[in-house]
Amino acid sequence: MNIMQYPRMLTSTHEGWDELERWHPDMNALFLWLVLPLSVLPPVMILLASGGLGAEIFPGAHIGDWLLAATFFFVAEHVSVPMMAGVVRRAALAQGAAVTLRDAYTVAAVAPVPLWLSSIGLLTGTLWLAIPLALVALAAAGVLIHNGVRRVLGIKEDVIASEMAVQVMTMGVLAWGVLLVVTVVPLAVL
């Protein structure tokens, strides 16, 4: 998949999505070529932020605490993607759509890309930039879910696709909250 097509996936149900459909990756390929490389970014950003913004927020945290937090976050990411694929699939099946787990995983693997990329905001050294960037990324993930539901899962009705996107995003926001808690607990408790 051409990464340059990715921004167009936010504004279209064809641009970028058609190329993804032609590639027709299985879940292992999506994991190796998309999920794994991008999911490394937030833990690395957490470690890099440990000396700047992180040190301001958690002044008593040591490097071992930061390593533990980054590791927990990385593991939680890899639990959340298949979990979200299950949520996507159940939401589609509830609407009567014939959906494979591969298709649901495709949507679940593409949607968090803006969230993974937003972790770069930790390098700004200020929460006033990092938090809005994360919120914009969350909105972009919602748009990708909506467009992915329409294109990959074949849901043609915009209202149904929107309902499904809201259901999936609700669970996604909860999963995102769990990821944040998993990161903060080792820093605040240890």
pLDDT digits (tens, 9 = 90+) for 63-93: 999 999 999 999 999 999 999 999 999 999 9
Q: For position 180, what pLDDT does the model report?
A: 85
Q: For position 179, what pLDDT does the model report?
A: 86
Q: For position 23, what pLDDT does the model report?
A: 86
- Predicted TM-score (pTM) of this structure: 0.91
Q: For position 1, what pLDDT does the model report?
A: 63
With beta carbons less than 8 A apart as the criterion, state whether 104 and 171 touch.
no
Q: For position 11, what pLDDT does the model report?
A: 92
Structure tokens given for 13: 């149900």
Burial label, 124 (beta-carbon count in 10 A; 0-12, 13-18, 19+): middle
Q: For position 190, what pLDDT does the model report?
A: 58
Residues in the chain with pLDDT < 70? Answer: 1-3, 190
Q: For position 82, what pLDDT does the model report?
A: 96
Question: Which has the closest alpha carbon to 47: 23, 31, 63, 29?
Answer: 63
Q: How many CA atoms lie within 13 A of 172 on its CB side?
A: 30
Q: For position 185, what pLDDT does the model report?
A: 86
Question: Which has the closest alpha carbon to 43: 18, 17, 75?
Answer: 75
With beta carbons less than 8 A apart as the criterion, state whether 17 and 9 touch.
yes
